[in-house]
Amino acid sequence: MVHQRAPAPGAVAWLDLMTADVEPAARFYGCVLGWTYNLAWTPLGDYRVARNGDRDVAGLMSGDVALRSSAPPAWEVFVEVESITATLAAACESGGTVLQEPLEVPGGGRVGVLADPAEAVLAVVESPPGAVSPAAGAHGGFAGVELHSRRPAGIHAFYPAVLGWRVVERFGQTVFLTGRRQVAELLASTAEDPVSRWLPRFAVRRIDPAVETVVRHGGVVVEPPGPWHGRRRALLADPAGARFVLVEHPAL
């Protein structure tokens, strides 16, 4: 069952794909995840709201008009906060960097962007009334986020200080919690790809056909499907190079 809630402080509030050309990206994710799209007005240019059934799951934005136009195509994760000003100040005090000072986005609330001490980029947002978090609970829906860090042990103190998260060990993995709810999983970047980045996870009923669809439509398999907490997980890249994760949920 698809479910969607208002963003709560400390939880993932939204996902945006920053890419060079929205049209082919929309076709790709439509084929892989079954998304449809609504056009949304934005002063920054072409923006599409991806729909999972009748619920919003993510946004797609043209990179040449995005806030950081020089960045390569990538998914951007937004976390809800009560005060962007206080959050960005805490990030600086804890060894992070502010990449975007608070900015009012028409219809999108107040947004800021930071980098943690290992240079993973994360957006924070004070969402407007009526905002909803990414739709979950169905094939093609939101299934969480993961942080790949080149300094995983070195950032254990950063996110609790900045976002109030707790760091715990579950099933041999480090995870971040807000209250009792898991927000994200922390993974070490590999030697082959020593980059720190936040990645979204999307749910699929059967991962092997989904990965085949990714490849057939120009995507790349970075890590093939493998065991993950009793399920199967794959790390992939879309044709423009933006990375994302698929997780198998057979019951969906």
Question: pLDDT grade, residue 252 (50/70/90)?
Answer: confident
Annotate 36-105 with DSSP letters as a single string.
Answer: EEEEE--TTS-EEEEEETTEEEEEEEEGGGSTTTTSPSEEEEEEE-S-HHHHHHHHHHTT-EEEEEEEEE
Regarding pTM above 0.85, the answer is yes
pLDDT digits (tens, 9 = 90+) for 217-235: 999 999 999 999 899 999 9
- Beta-bridged to residue 56, according to DSSP, are 51
Question: pLDDT grade, residue 251 (50/70/90)?
Answer: confident
- What is the CATH number assigned to the segment(s) 142-248? 3.10.180.10
Q: Which residue has the tokens 């993510």?
A: 58
Position 1 scores a pLDDT of 47
Identify the burial level of 232 via C-beta atoms within 10 angstroms of its C-beta, where 0-12 means exposed, 13-18 middle and 19 or more buried.
buried
Same topology, domains 12-126 and 142-248? Answer is yes
Q: Is the pLDDT of residue 70 over 80?
A: no
Task: State whether residue 28 is helix, strand or coil.
Answer: helix
Q: What angle do CA 144, 145, 148 make, to 5 degrees?
A: 155
Was domain 12-126 assigned CATH 3.10.180.10? yes
3-state secondary structure 207-231: HHHHHHHHHHCCCEEEEEEEEECCE
- Copy the structure tokens of residue 55: 């619920």
- Copy the structure tokens of residue 51: 């729909």
Contact assessment for residue 73 and residue 241, using Cβ atoms and an 8 Å cutoff: yes
Q: Where are the domains of the chain?
A: 12-126, 142-248
- How many C-beta atoms lie closer than 10 Å to residue 110's C-beta? 17
Helices (H) and strands (E) in the chain, counts: 4, 16
pLDDT digits (tens, 9 = 90+) for 108-158: 789 999 999 999 999 999 998 888 899 898 999 999 999 999 999 889 999
pLDDT digits (tens, 9 = 90+) for 202-220: 999 999 999 999 999 999 9
Question: pLDDT grade, residue 7 (50/70/90)?
Answer: confident
Q: Which of 117, 150, 138 is nearest to 53 (CA)?
A: 138
Measured distance CA(112)–CA(97) in Å, rounded: 11
Position 63 scores a pLDDT of 62
pLDDT digits (tens, 9 = 90+) for 11-59: 999 999 999 889 999 999 999 999 999 987 666 667 899 999 999 999 9
pLDDT digits (tens, 9 = 90+) for 75-116: 999 999 999 999 999 999 999 999 999 998 877 789 999 999
Position 193 scores a pLDDT of 84
- Beta-bridged to residue 97, according to DSSP, are 115
Q: What is the mean pLDDT of residues 167-188?
A: 93
